Structure 1
Amino acid sequence: MDRRGYLLAACMAALFVGVSTAAVLRGGAPLALAVRLFALNGFVALAIAACMSPFLREIRQVFGRPFIIVHHLFAAFGLTAILLHPVAAAVRAGSLSVFIPVFSSLQAFLALGGRVAFYLILIAVAAAVLRNRYPAVWRPFHMLMYAALALAIVHATLIGSDLVNPAVRGILYAIFVVVVAALLLKRRQRYLKGAGK
C-alpha cells in the first residue's frame, strides 16, 4: 500500500471514528447506543463499498490489493453491522415487529424505511454471492444496494436521533452524495464501454 492508500485509509477510518464518537458522546442506555452505533457504522461501511465500484484499477493501485478484496472487506463489515442493528432494536423493543415493513402511509414507510432497506440489502448481497451462477442477471439485483442506502438515509433523517448532530448529518449526507456520484460514474463507464464495441 502506498502513501495514497494510507491517507485514504485514514480518511475512511475518520468517518467511522467521527460518527461513533458523536454517538457515544450523545449517550444513552448501552443497548440503545448499540442500536445507533450498528446503524451508523453499517451505513458508512456499505456506502464506502458502494463508492468503490467505478474505481477497480485505482483501488488496486492505492491499496495494493485486488478491488474485490477491499470491496468485500467493507461490505462484510457493513452487512454485519446492518444485520445487528435490527436485532439489537428487536431485543430492546422486546418485539420482532422491527423486521416488518410498514406501508400504512408514505410518511410511515419512509420513516421506517430501514426495514425495507434491510431486505433489499440481503437481496443485493445474495445476488453478489450468486453472481458466478447467474452472470446474466445478478447485477440489477445487486444494484438494489443503492435503493437500500437511499431508504436508509431517509430513515435516519426522519427518526435517527444522531442526525441532530451537524457533524454526523454532514458525514452521512456527504457520503451519500458520493455514492450517487459513483453510481452515475459507473453507469457512464458502462455506457462508454458499450458504445465502444
Structure 2
Amino acid sequence: MDRKGYLLASCMAALFVIVSVAAVMRGGAPLDLAVRLFALNGFVALALAASMSPFLREIRQVFGRPFIYVHHTFAAFGLTAILLHPVAAAVMAGSLSGFIPVFSSLQAFLALGGRVAFYLILVAVAAAALRNRYPAAWRPVHMLMYVALALGLVHAVLIGTDLVHPVVRGVLYALFVMVVAALLLKRRQRHVRGSRE
C-alpha cells in the first residue's frame, strides 16, 4: 500500500472513530451503547463498501490489494455490525418484535425501516454470494443494498438518538451522498462501456 493508501485508510478509519466517540460521549447503558455503535459503524462500513464500486482499478492501485478483497473486508465488517444491531436491541428489549417489519402507516414503516433494511441486506448479500451461479441476475438483486442504506438512514434520522449530534449527522449524510454519487457514476460507466461495444 502506498502513501495514498495509508492516507485514504486513515480517513476511512477516522469516520468510524468520529461516530463511535460521539456515541460514547452521549453515554447510555452498556447494551444501549452497543446497539447504537453497531448501527453507526455498520452503516459507515456498508456505505464505504458501496461507494467503492466505480473505482475498481483505483482501489487496487491505492491499497495494493484486489478491489474485491477491500470491498469484501468493509462489507463483512458492516454486515456483522448491522446484524448485531437488531440482535442487541432484541436482547435489550427482551423481545423479537424488532425483527418484524411494520406496515401500519408510512410514518411507522419509515421510522422502523431498519427492520426491512435488515432483510434487504441479507438478500443483497445472498445475491453476491451466488454471483457465479447466476451471473445475469445477481447484480439487480445486490442493488437492494442501496435501498437498505436509504431505509437505514431514514430510520436513524427518525428514531436514532445519535443523529442529534451534528457531526454524526453530517458524516452519515455525506456518506449517503457518496453512495448515491457512486451509484450514478457506476451506471454511467456501464452506459459508456455498452455504447462502445
Q: TM-score range by the shorter chain?
A: over 0.9
Aligned residue type for 1:121: I
- Paired with 1:188 and 1:136, the residues of 2 have a C-alpha distance of 19
User: How much does 1:193 deviate?
Assistant: 0.6
SS state at 1:18 partner: helix
- Paired with 2:84 and 2:18, the residues of 1 have a C-alpha distance of 20
- Paired with 1:189 and 1:109, the residues of 2 have a C-alpha distance of 34
Alignment of 1:82-101 (within 5 A): 82-101=82-101
Q: Confirm or deny that 1:79 pairs with 2:104.
A: no
User: How much does 1:120 deviate?
Assistant: 0.3
Match of 2:149 in 1: 149
- Paired with 1:148 and 1:98, the residues of 2 have a C-alpha distance of 16
- Paired with 2:110 and 2:196, the residues of 1 have a C-alpha distance of 40
Match of 1:46 in 2: 46
User: How much does 1:72 deviate?
Assistant: 0.2
Match of 1:110 in 2: 110
User: How much does 1:48 deviate?
Assistant: 0.2
Moved over 4 A (4+): none
Match of 1:172 in 2: 172
Alignment of 1:174-193 (within 5 A): 174-193=174-193
- Paired with 1:126 and 1:4, the residues of 2 have a C-alpha distance of 33
Q: Note the aligned Cα RMSD (angstroms).
A: 0.3
User: How much does 1:136 deviate?
Assistant: 0.8
- Paired with 1:93 and 1:185, the residues of 2 have a C-alpha distance of 41
Post-superposition CA distance 1:138-181 (Å, at most 9, x none): 00010000000000000000000000000000000000000000
Aligned residue type for 1:8: L
- Paired with 1:96 and 1:140, the residues of 2 have a C-alpha distance of 30
- In the alignment, structure 2 segments of 5+ residues that lack a partner are none
- In the alignment, structure 1 segments of 5+ residues that lack a partner are none
Structure-1-length-normalised TM-score: 1.00
- Paired with 1:175 and 1:50, the residues of 2 have a C-alpha distance of 10
Structure-2-length-normalised TM-score: 1.00
SS state at 2:135 partner: coil
Percent of pairs with identical residues: 84
- Paired with 2:2 and 2:25, the residues of 1 have a C-alpha distance of 34
Aligned residue type for 1:36: R
Match of 1:9 in 2: 9
Aligned residue type for 1:47: A
- Paired with 1:44 and 1:87, the residues of 2 have a C-alpha distance of 19
User: How much does 1:132 deviate?
Assistant: 0.3
- Paired with 1:112 and 1:190, the residues of 2 have a C-alpha distance of 34
